[in-house]
Amino acid sequence: MIDFFKNNKKRIMKVMAVIIIIMIASTIWYEVPVTEHISISGEGKVSSPMRLALVTDLHSCYYGKKQSKLVKMIDKEKPDAILLSGDIFDDRLPQTNARVFIEEVSGKYPCFYVTGNHDLWSKKEVEIKEYLTSKGVMVLEGNAHAINIGGSDIDICGVDDPTYMTQEEWESQLDGAKDSSNPDNYRILLSHRPEKVDTYEKYDFDLIVCGHAHGGQWKIPFTQRGVAAPNQGLLPAYVDGLYELKNGSEMIVSRGLARERMPYPRFFNHPEIVMIDIK
Strands (E), the chain: 34-40, 50-55, 81-85, 111-114, 138-139, 143-149, 152-158, 186-190, 207-210, 228-229, 233-234, 241-244, 250-253, 272-278
pLDDT band of 225, cuts 50, 70, 90: confident
Rounded CA-CA distance 117/10 in Å is: 50
Looking at residues 83-100, what average pLDDT do you find?
A: 97
**How many angstroms separate the Cα of 122 from the Cα of each of 88, 133, 156, 212?**
12, 18, 25, 16
Closest CA to 77 of 32, 136, 37, 46: 37
Does the structure show a pLDDT above 90 at 221? no
Q: Which pLDDT value is given to residue 218? A: 86
Q: Which residues contact 106 (CB under 8 A, 6 or more apart)?
A: 135, 136, 137
Does the structure show a pLDDT above 80 at 260? yes
Q: Which pLDDT value is given to residue 21? A: 57
Looking at residues 242-257, what average pLDDT do you find?
A: 97
Rounded CA-CA distance 58/33 in Å is: 11
Q: Which pLDDT value is given to residue 179? A: 97
Share above pLDDT 70 across residues of the chain, in percent, rounded to a whole number: 90
Q: Which pLDDT value is given to residue 26? A: 59
Between 10 and 54, residue with greater pLDDT? 54
Q: Which pLDDT value is given to residue 127? A: 97
Looking at residues 10-28, what average pLDDT do you find?
A: 59
For the stretch 142-196, pLDDT in tens is 999 999 999 999 999 999 999 999 999 999 999 999 999 999 999 999 999 999 9
Residue 85, φ and ψ in degrees, nearest 5: -95, 50
Q: Which pLDDT value is given to residue 15? A: 56
Q: Which pLDDT value is given to residue 126? A: 97
For the stretch 65-82, pLDDT in tens is 999 999 999 999 999 999
Of 108-112, 129-133, 188-192, 227-231, the poorest mean pLDDT is in 227-231
Q: Which pLDDT value is given to residue 25? A: 58
Q: Which pLDDT value is given to residue 219? A: 84
pLDDT band of 62, cuts 50, 70, 90: very high
| 38 beta partners | 276
Q: Which pLDDT value is given to residue 268? A: 82
